[in-house]
Structure 1
Amino acid sequence: MQPFKFILIAFLAITCNGFSQTPSDFLSKDFHKSKRDALRAKMPKNSVAVVFANPLRNRANDVDYVFHQDPNFYYLTGYREPNGVLVLFSENQTDENGLVYNEVLYVQKKNKRAEQWNGKRLGVEGAINELGFKVAKNGEDFINDKLDFKKFDRVFIEKFNDDYRNSAREKAEVYDLVLSFKEKADFNPKNFLSPLKKQIYEMVKSTPIENSANVAQIIGRAVAYDASLKNDEDLMKFKEATDVNLKKDLQQKIALKLNAKTNIDVTFLSRNLATLREVKTKEELVLLTKAVRISAIGQVEVMKAMKPHMSETELQGIHEFVYKKYGAEYEGYPSIVGAGNNGCILHYIENNKTKVGNDLVLMDLGAEYRGYTADVTRTIPANGKFTEEQKAIYEIVYKAQEAGIAAYKIGESMAKPNLISKKIVDEGLFKLGIIKSIDEKHPYYPHGTSHHIGLDVHDPGNYGNFEENMVVTMEPGIYIPEGSNCDKKWWGIGIRIEDDILITKSGPKNLSAEAPRTVEEIEKMMAKKSVLDDFVLPDLDK
C-alpha cells in the first residue's frame, strides 16, 4: 500500500470515530442473541413467540414523550426504536427462496424526511449488521407477509394493554402491527382466559347452584384484585343473579367459554423471561453496577449541597445533573424527593415544596444507564443534623436494613429479609411508645423490602430463593404522617434507606455503599463543602 493512501485511510478512520461520539458500551449483539436462544430452548415444538416494541406515546398536541423501549423487547433484540416486532420460531423455517431461518426482526423503515426531523433509523441493513439478525424486514412486511399463526400449536405473546394509538404518521406503527397480528392469528379476547379468570370459571362450572352465593363472594373479591373482570358480562350477571334458572343458563355459557379453544398463550413469555432476567450476566452487571454507583454519587453530592432554603425540585435537579454528567440517558423512574410529611408518601413525585427547611428529606432516585436502572434511597436532615426524634427512628430503620442485608445469601428465601426487618421495626416502635404492643397492626411500615432491579426498576422475577448474580434491593422504612395515633413529636418523620445488593458466593455486596448510611457518616458528609456552594443564579423576581 502506498504511504499516502495508508495515511489517508488512517486519518479517515480516526475522523469518523471521533465524529461519532456516541455511547459504545451498550449490551453486545451476542448478549441479545444468547437470550433469544435461551428463550427458544424453553419453547415447545411447533410454537412461535411474537414480541412487540413499545409505541411512541403522545405527551400533548404534536409533542411525544421521549421514547423508551419495552424492556423484554430490548432484552431479546437490542433494538432501541419504536414500531418493531420480533418473531421467534421454535424450529427452523424455510422461505420460498430456500432461506433457512428461525427468527425475524421487523423494524421501522428508513425514511429520509422522518430521519431529518427525529433522528436516524437503524433500518433493515442496520438490524442485520449491528444487531446480528440473519433476517430483518421492514414493519410493513409484517403486515404484508403471509404469516400463518394458526398452524402453530402455541403462539406466545404478552398480554395486550392496548395503550397505543393510531397517529397515521407511519404505515406500520405498533397500532397497525398489533392489529395485523390479531387478524392473522384470529385473536379473540373472549377466548383468552387469564389464570385468575380460568380459576373462577372452573369454580362457577363445578359449584352446585345452591352454593353459588359463595362463588359470588369470591368473584367480588377477585374483581377488587383484577378490575378487568368487570368487563366479563356473563360473570358479572352470575355474581348478581338471584333467579335459579338464570344462574343455570349463565353457568352453562361460562362452561362453554372454559372449553373455547385457542393456541394463543399470554403467560409463557412473561413467566420465562422473568426467569431469565432475574439472574444477571457479567455483561449486565457492568452496566447495572455503573447505574447504581452513579446514583450513589448523586446522593453524596446532594448531601454536600443541601441547604434549608432549597426546594425539593432543586434537589431533584442536582441528582439528575449528576446522572447526566456520567452519561446516564434517563432516570429509571420518576424521582422522589419528599421533605417532612411528603416523605411519608411512598411514591411522592410532585417534588414541589419550595423550601425543605429543617425537615428530613427522603430521596428515592435511580439513574438509568444503557437501559439498566438503579434504585437508591437516602433520608437526610436538610440542616445537616438529625434531631433526637429523627435519629431514634433512623437508627431503627438502619438496624433493620443491616440485619436484612445479612440474609442476602444464595439459597435463602427472598421473603426472609422482609420478615427480619418487620420484627426489628415493630420492636423499635414499641420501645419508643409509638405502638402499644409488638404485635399491634400499624400503618407505619406498609411495604416489603426486596425487589429485583435491572432493565426495570421493579425487574420481573419468580421471588423464590436468592441466586448468585441477582441484584435485589433492601429497603426498610418507617413513615409517621401527621395525624398519626402517637405522640406529635413523631409526626412528619418519613425514613427509608434503600440499597442495591448483589448476591455473591462470598455473601451480599452492597453496590450503593458509596452513599453514606449511618447518622454519623451522613452528618460528616453534609458538613463538607459542595462544588455548588458558589453556583448562584440571578434572582428573576427582582
Structure 2
Amino acid sequence: MKIRLTFLITVFLVGMDHLQAQYKYEPKDVLTKDFHANRREAVRAKLSKNSVAVFFANPVRNRANDVDYVYHQDPDLYYLTGYKEPNATLLIFSEPVDINGKQFKELFFVQPRSEQSEMWNGERLGIERTKERTGIEGVFANDFFDDLPLDFKSFDKVLMYELKGDVRDNRNDEGDLYSMMQYFKEVTDYPEADFSETEDQLYTLIETADEYSAANVAKVIGRAMENDPSLAKNETLKAYQNASTLEERTLVVEKLPKTNIDLNQLHVIMGALREVKLEEEISMLKKAVRISAMGQVEVMKAMHPGMSEREVQGIHEFVFKKYGAEFEGYPSIVGGGHNGCVLHYIENNKPQLTKDEMILMDLGAEYRGYTADVTRTIPVNGKFSKEQKAIYEIVYKAQEAGIQACQVGEDFSAPYIASVKEIKEGLMKLGIIKTEADYGIYLPHGVSHHIGLDVHDKSNYSDFQENMVITVEPGIYIPENSPCDPKWWGIAVRIEDDILITSKGPVNLSEEAPRHWKEIEKVMKQESVLEKWELPVIE
C-alpha cells in the first residue's frame, strides 16, 4: 500500500509539472496586471451609485461533433482581467459589497484546477494564480456563483450585455457559463428570455417620452420594426405605436417590465474606454500592424499567375505565425478578379489566378489580443493595366485625403467625406457614373472604423482624440454587368491602412506595406524566399 501511494503521488506530481509547462511558455510582452486593474478602476469610476457591471466570458463554441473551435476570450473580459479561459464571470461594483463579512469591490468567478480536465485540455490557472495574475482579491471557483450571498435586485442598476442564446450546457460542470447565466436570470429582474438591447432602448424611450414627443417615439418604433421584423411580435411596442391618447400611452408605460437591468449603458462605458488606446495597447497594435504589413510585402514578392487564392491566404497567415501572432483578427479576405467585389468574401477557393486580374487582400494578424486590418490590391502579373491603374489611382487619392482628415477634434465622418469627394470626381471623370449621387453603386461601405481588441473595435464614434487608432479604407468595386463600359467590369480596389491619431497629425502604422502603384510594381519584381520552395505533386 505504501509503494502504491508513493507511485500515485509521483505520477500526480509529474503530471502536474507537465501541465504547468504550458503556462511556462507564455509570452512576456503581455499587458500587465496593473493595466487591467487600471481599466477596472476606469469602469468603476463611470458607474452610477449603487450599481454593478456584469461581464460574462465568451462561450465555448462547437465546430463539429465533439470538436470545439479554438477558444477566444470576450474582449471586454480580457481587457479588464487578462484572463483567457472560458466559464468565467466578472462583477465590478460601484461601491464595495459585503460577502460573508468581507468587503469586495470586484468579484471574479473562474474555473478551478482539475487534474482530469487539464490532462485533456491543458492547464488552468485556478483560483490562487488568477488572484496573483489579475490583482483581484475576490476570486472564487465558478461553481460558487450560485451560492453567492448577493441580492442583485438591491442594486439601482445592473449593467450588462444582452444574454445570447448560443451557450451550451455542459451537464458535467456545475460552474460552466450556462449554469452561471441561468442562475443569474433566476435571481435578477432579467426580463423575458428573448429580451434584446433594442427593446431595452425602445422601452427607455417610451418611459421618458412626454406627450409632445410621443408621435416621434412611435415613428422610431416603426423604423426599428422595419429593420428587425421580430420586434413586430412585441405586444408592448405595438400597443404604444397604436396608442392615440395620453391615457392609452400611460397604460403602456405602466405595463413596462419593472427591472434594474440595463443593456445599453455598458456599451457606452466600454466604448468610451476602448476607443482611446493607452500606451501599452498602441505597442501591441503596432506589432500586429507591422506583422500584417510584412505579410503583404512577402505576398507581393511571391505573387504570380497560376497561384490560388488559398495559397495567397496561406502565405499571409504563415508570416503571421512566423512572427508569433496567435490568430487572424478576422476571416481572411483574398479575392481575385470579380471576387474582390464581394466585400466580405472569405471562401478564398479560386484555384488559379490569371495574369489579367488583380487580387484584393484584406487580412490582419492578431497579436496578444489586438488585431490589425490591412488591405492591398495588386496586379497578379506584377504590372497594372491602364484601366486597373486608373481605378487604383482614384482610390489612392481618396485614401490620401481620408488619412489627412484624421486630425484631433475632427468628426468621425471626416475621412469618409474627404474620401468620397475624390471618389465622386474620379468616377465622373472616367465616365463610370453620370451623376455624383451614383457613387454609392461603386463604394457601398464606410471608410473607417476603430481597431483594437476587436477588428471593429468598441467605440462611441466620438470626435477624434489623440491615441485613437482607426482604419482608412476607401474602395471602388465594379462587378460584372455594372451600368458602365464593360472594360471596367471585374475591377475591385480597396486600400486600407491603420492610422494612429496624434496631436501632430495622423501616423500610418501600416506604411511598410507599399500602397502607391509604382512602389507595388517595384516590390513585385523582387525575389521571394518562397520561389525555391517546391512541394511534391499530390494528385
Q: Report the TM-score when normalising by structure 2.
A: 0.90
- Report what 1:194 is aligned to: 200
Q: 2:511 aligns with which of 509, 513, 524?
A: 513
Distance of 1:200 and 1:227 partners within structure 2: 19
Q: 1:57 aligns with which of 31, 36, 61?
A: 61
Distance of 2:66 and 2:431 partners within structure 1: 56
Q: 1:33 aligns with which of 32, 37, 40?
A: 37
Distance of 2:317 and 2:172 partners within structure 1: 33
For 1:483, give the aligned amino acid: N
- Report what 1:10 is aligned to: none
Distance of 1:122 and 1:271 partners within structure 2: 31
- Report what 2:4 is aligned to: none
Distance of 1:266 and 1:445 partners within structure 2: 33
- Say whether 1:313 aligns with 2:313: no
1:378-417 to structure 2, matched below 5 A, reads 378-417=376-415
Secondary structure in structure 1 of the residue aligned to 2:134: coil
Q: 2:226 aligns with which of 221, 224, 231?
A: 224
Structure 1 residue 267: deviation in Å?
1.3
- Report what 2:418 is aligned to: 420
Instruction: Please tell me whether the aligned partners of residues 22 and 123 of structure 2 are also in contact (alpha carbons under 8 angstroms).
Output: no
- Report what 2:3 is aligned to: none
Distance of 2:263 and 2:221 partners within structure 1: 22
- Say whether 1:466 aligns with 2:453: no
Structure 1 residue 441: deviation in Å?
5.2
1:61-460 to structure 2, matched below 5 A, reads 61-96=65-100, 98-189=101-192, 193-199=199-205, 219-236=221-238, 254-258=252-256, 260-358=257-355, 359-440=357-438, 442-460=440-458
For 2:202, give the aligned amino acid: L
Structure 1 residue 220: deviation in Å?
4.2
The structure-2 alpha-carbon separation of the partners of 1:176 and 1:230, relative to structure 1 and needing over 3 Å to count, comes to farther
Secondary structure in structure 1 of the residue aligned to 2:269: helix
Please, what is the CA RMSD of the aligned residues?
2.4
Structure 1 residue 133: deviation in Å?
1.2
Instruction: Please tell me whether the aligned partners of residues 234 and 250 of structure 1 are also in contact (alpha carbons under 8 angstroms).
Output: no
- Report what 2:480 is aligned to: 482
- Report what 2:532 is aligned to: 534
The structure-2 alpha-carbon separation of the partners of 1:234 and 1:49, relative to structure 1 and needing over 3 Å to count, comes to closer
Instruction: Please tell me whether the aligned partners of residues 295 and 316 of structure 2 are also in contact (alpha carbons under 8 angstroms).
Output: yes
Structure 1 residue 143: deviation in Å?
1.3
- Report what 1:3 is aligned to: none
Distance of 2:304 and 2:203 partners within structure 1: 53
Distance of 1:273 and 1:262 partners within structure 2: 22
Structure 1 residue 249: deviation in Å?
10
The structure-2 alpha-carbon separation of the partners of 1:67 and 1:517, relative to structure 1 and needing over 3 Å to count, comes to same
- Report what 1:5 is aligned to: none
- Report what 2:15 is aligned to: none
- Report what 1:12 is aligned to: none
Taking only the aligned residue pairs, the percentage that are identical comes to 55
Q: Report the TM-score when normalising by structure 1.
A: 0.90
Report Cα offsets for 1:417-465 as digits up to 9, x if no partner. 1011111101000000000123435410011111100000000111121
Secondary structure in structure 1 of the residue aligned to 2:511: coil
- Report what 2:11 is aligned to: none
Report Cα offsets for 1:376-406 as digits up to 9, x if no partner. 0000011101000000000000000001111
Report Cα offsets for 1:78-133 as digits up to 9, x if no partner. 1101100101111122333x432211110012111110000000110111112211
Distance of 1:154 and 1:238 partners within structure 2: 25
For 2:169, give the aligned amino acid: N
Distance of 1:17 and 1:107 partners within structure 2: 20
Structure 2 runs not aligned, ≥5 long = 1-19
Secondary structure in structure 1 of the residue aligned to 2:266: helix
Secondary structure in structure 1 of the residue aligned to 2:464: coil
Secondary structure in structure 2 of the residue aligned to 1:39: helix
Q: How many residue pairs were aligned? A: 516
Distance of 1:21 and 1:419 partners within structure 2: 47
Secondary structure in structure 1 of the residue aligned to 2:255: helix
Instruction: Please tell me whether the aligned partners of residues 99 and 150 of structure 2 are also in contact (alpha carbons under 8 angstroms).
Output: no
Secondary structure in structure 1 of the residue aligned to 2:347: coil
Instruction: Please tell me whether the aligned partners of residues 406 and 415 of structure 2 are also in contact (alpha carbons under 8 angstroms).
Output: yes
Distance of 1:461 and 1:218 partners within structure 2: 23
Distance of 1:385 and 1:412 partners within structure 2: 37
Instruction: Please tell me whether the aligned partners of residues 55 and 173 of structure 1 are also in contact (alpha carbons under 8 angstroms).
Output: no
Report Cα offsets for 1:459-496 as digits up to 9, x if no partner. 01111211111101000000000010000000001100
Structure 1 residue 201: deviation in Å?
7.3
- Report what 2:46 is aligned to: 42
Report Cα offsets for 1:142-190 as digits up to 9, x if no partner. 1122221111111111121222111324211111111111112132238
Instruction: Please tell me whether the aligned partners of residues 379 and 496 of structure 1 are also in contact (alpha carbons under 8 angstroms).
Output: yes
Query: Comparing 287-296 with 440-449, which one deviates more in the overlay?
Result: 440-449
Query: Comparing 349-358 with 158-167, which one deviates more in the overlay?
Result: 158-167
Distance of 1:206 and 1:114 partners within structure 2: 60
For 2:231, give the aligned amino acid: L
